[in-house]
Amino acid sequence: MRDVPFVTSPMMTARVMRPLDEAEARRRNALSATKPGFHLQVGDMVTVVDTLDAGSSFLVEFTKGGKPKKDSCDWMGVLTLNEIEVLDGAAKK
C-alpha cells in the first residue's frame, strides 16, 4: 500500500478492498442520486479526488467501466484507509 503522506496527486487511483452493498452505497453517496442496484465490489477501481482527516479517509469517485468522464461519475463518497488500497497512477483491473 502506498504511504499515506505521499498521496497528494489529484489523479491517484485506488482499489476497493471492502464491498459496499446497495444500501450502504446509497447511504454514503455524495451525489444527489444513485442508480438502483448500484454497489461497489472488491477490486473496483476508484479515483481519489481529495485526501481527508490527515490521510485516514478519501473522497473518491467511481465511474462504471473504469474510465473517468469529465464532470461526471456514477458514485462519489468517502472511503476510509482500510476500505481502499491507494495505487501509483492508473492501475488495470
Contacts of 15 (CB under 8 A, 6+ apart): 43, 44, 45, 46, 84, 85, 87, 91
Contact 59, 69 (CB under 8 A): no
Q: Residue 64: what pLDDT?
A: 85
Residue 33, pLDDT score: 80
pTM: 0.77
Query: What pLDDT, in 10s, does the model give residues 10-26?
Result: 578 999 999 999 999 99
Q: Are strands 12-16 and 84-87 parallel, antiparallel or unpaired?
A: antiparallel
pLDDT tens digits for 22-76?
999 999 999 988 788 999 999 999 999 999 998 899 999 998 876 666 778 899 9
Q: Which domains does the chain have, with CATH numbers?
A: 4-87 (2.30.30.40)
